[in-house]
Chains A and B, each alone.
Chain A
Amino acid sequence: MTAEFPTTTQHAGEIEPGHSLWQDAWYRLRKNKMAVIGAIFIALLTLASFLAPLIAPNSYEKIDLALAASPPSHAHWLGTDSLGRDLLSRILYGGRISLSVGLAATLVSVIIGVLYGAISGYLGGRVDVVLMRIVDIIYSLPFVIFVILITVVFGRNIILLFMAIGAVSWLDMARIVRGQVMSLKKQEFIEAARSLGLRKRRIILRHMIPNVMGTVVIYSTLIVPSVMLLEAFLSFLGLGVQAPMSSWGTLINDGAKSVEEYPWLLIFPSLFFSTTLFSLNFLGDGLRDALDVRSSKD
């Protein structure tokens, strides 16, 4: 691997064009085969899910009892469920829900986490102590239980679902951003901004947050799978997405109920779900290793 890596010592005497951080990172990411495979899989899956209305072989809600629970065949590649609905179509539409909940909830958690962490890190002192103590306390709570309570109390609304999931999964992001901001705070350009008399609000929003965005993006890719897991978990318990909509969690739940008679109803959704989580984790780890050399594991 090192043989191909363009280093400055390789061509002594020649003027070596420099490599930006992003070029280096891109190079390292491409070298990571699992991350690349993961990225390709995610890209294809996202495309297929969002184009589901165009490419899905059948309607996801069309009930055809004559075809109920037929195993995989030429007409229905992954078989049909107990109401005769095409499983492949349902998985594609379910993927749309799972992926959107994953992205939306991640967005919510990133917004809360970045703002919280930046404020805590930049203001420091007593505010920081109090804000971080709150994070510690929330950490020690059974917060999945709270997500369930919230979905019970406010009804099973999908927008609320990802708000609730996002609202409990910002803790790690807040800690990471806080650490970054604390080290940025000592640098000259912040000092300069302060001596120009900029307000704290402006320094945080305009100077701090853009500079931690790289780290934020990396860790967001690791939030996506955990959030999708939480959504599937709730849907599996029957507390998430409601019929006739379906996410992968509900499909897995349906499959688990009839695993003895129709095992394919469990196996295919599980396969899609696990492979997606797998890919997202590999991609996230790869991105982190590529961009954040210091924290990379051996």
Chain B
Amino acid sequence: MLRFIFKRVLEAIPVLLIVATLTFLLLKIMPGGPFDTEKVTTPEIKKQIESYYGLDKPVWKQYVDYMDRLIFHGDLGPSYKYFGWSVNELLAGSLPISLELGCYGLAFALVFGLIAGIIASLRKNTAGDYVPMSIATLGICIPSFVTGPLLILLFALKLRWFNTSGWYFPRDRVLPAITLGLYYMAYISRLTRGGMLEILNQDFIRTARAKGASEWRVIWKHSLRGGLLSVVSFLGPAISGIITGSLVVETIFQIPGAARFFVMAAFNLDGPMLMGTTLVFAVLIIVMNLLVDIAQVWLNPRLRFEE
């Protein structure tokens, strides 16, 4: 197990280097720079700004400097747009918000997706199966940028239960979390139903029932571990999808998280900010995928012998 984790961590390092290099090169081709927003720039001032950001050096030197600061100091450089702010400072303020939102979204998706899926599998081909599964199909087809505004229209503007946007009170978390998690809830419920149905048809479940195990025990002790394997392997793509989804959700609900900073940096052509957020997202996705893989091996011991 330790060897497996070690191997995966080692594999992640070149991937991160590739991401960093690719992003760096892409942003070097990008038109514009820190001086574009200033209205009056004499050549001297422009030169001064460029030398302040190290842009007068050759590209390879800039790359080496950037990687050096990144690897040995964890420094992502200064933002072009927010003068006097470093990307690290901006991310320190915004990333926790994004993580919080992501956790709520994922928790919502897991709790309701699992419950709906388990109920549907136990009530196969009855209304208790059809109703949640139809809703799930609907949830998969309607993207978050449609559900978000519709939820705002219904619950914030018509019913006035929540605020339309912002991130101040605990109840401000509800609509964004639902918007973010809805698709994954739908998907998880379908996977859970499929996985559970497969397990529930097996002989050892019949044996357990024949020996008088309670329904609760059959589900909790005997079926869940095997039935949820596909859900666990879906968590990897789900987590990177939730990160992508937060781009939209944070924009709709005007949440000051890292994903919103990324979108704004894309408009402002704020290179270091784009680079910093991309790297942070990549690290997050890789770490989460690693955790998911470990969980999978732990749940399914057969995988341990496949290496």
Contact = CB atoms under 8 A, between A and B. Distances in A.
Interface of A: 137, 140-142, 144-146, 148-155, 225, 229, 232-233, 236-239, 249, 252-253, 255-256, 259-260, 263, 266-267, 270, 273-274, 277-278, 281, 297
Contacts of A297: 194
B145 A256 contact: yes
Given A142-B281, A237-B247, A149 B157 contact: no
Contacts of B140: 281
Ranked nearest first, the 10 interchain pairs of A and B with the lowest CB-CB distance are A256-B149, A270-B146, A144-B244, A236-B145, A153-B30, A278-B141, A142-B281, A277-B141, A152-B266, A274-B142
Interface residues of B, number: 46
B271 to A, nearest CB: 9
Contact of A259 (B143, B157, B274): B157
Given A153-B27, A263-B153, A278-B141, A142 B285 contact: yes
A274 B26 contact: no
Contacts of A270: 142, 146, 149-150
B50 to A, nearest CB: 19
B141 A274 contact: yes
Interface of B: 15, 18-19, 22-23, 26-27, 29-31, 138, 140-143, 145-146, 148-150, 152-153, 157, 164, 194, 236, 240, 243-244, 247-248, 251-252, 262-263, 266-267, 269, 274, 277-278, 281-282, 285-286, 289
Nearest to A297: B194
B148 A256 contact: yes
A141 B26 contact: no
A243 to B, nearest CB: 15
Nearest to A256: B149
Contacts of B289: 140
Given A237-B251, A256-B149, A277-B141, A141 B23 contact: no
B148 A281 contact: no
B194 to A, nearest CB: 7
A237 to B, nearest CB: 6
A276 to B, nearest CB: 9
B301 to A, nearest CB: 23
A241 to B, nearest CB: 14
B18 A266 contact: no
B148 A137 contact: no
Contacts of B157: 259-260
B146 A140 contact: no
A135 B22 CA distance: 16
Contacts of A149: 23, 26-27, 266, 274, 278
Tell me what chain A mostly uses at the interface: helix, strand, loop, or mixed.
helix
A252 B146 contact: yes
B146 A239 contact: no
Contacts of B150: 266-267, 270
Contacts of A237: 247-248, 251, 263, 266
A246 B197 CA distance: 44
Contacts of B243: 142
Nearest to A263: B153
Contacts of A153: 26-27, 29-31
B152 A274 contact: no
A134 B179 CA distance: 33
Contact of B282 (A141, A256, A267, A278): A141
Contacts of A239: 263, 266
A147 B187 CA distance: 24
Contacts of A145: 244, 262, 277-278, 281-282
A165 to B, nearest CB: 13
Contact of B30 (A152, A236, A238): A152
B141 A142 contact: no
Given A232-B143, A237-B263, A256-B252, A142 B282 contact: yes
B156 to A, nearest CB: 9
- Considering residues A148, A152, A233, A255, which has the most beta carbons from chain B within 10 angstroms of its beta carbon? A152
A148 to B, nearest CB: 6
A203 B247 CA distance: 45
A263 B286 CA distance: 40
Contacts of B19: 141
A141 B152 contact: no
A281 B186 CA distance: 15
A149 B270 CA distance: 11
22 contacts: A140-B286, A142-B281, A145-B244, A146-B22, A148-B262, A149-B27, A151-B266, A153-B30, A229-B143, A232-B143, A236-B248, A252-B145, A252-B146, A255-B149, A256-B148, A256-B149, A259-B157, A266-B149, A266-B150, A266-B153, A270-B149, A278-B138
Nearest to A255: B149
A233 B248 contact: yes
Contacts of A151: 266
Given A137-B18, A149-B266, 17 more contacts: A140-B240, A142-B278, A146-B22, A148-B266, A149-B23, A150-B26, A153-B29, A232-B143, A236-B248, A252-B149, A259-B149, A259-B153, A259-B157, A266-B153, A273-B143, A278-B141, A297-B194
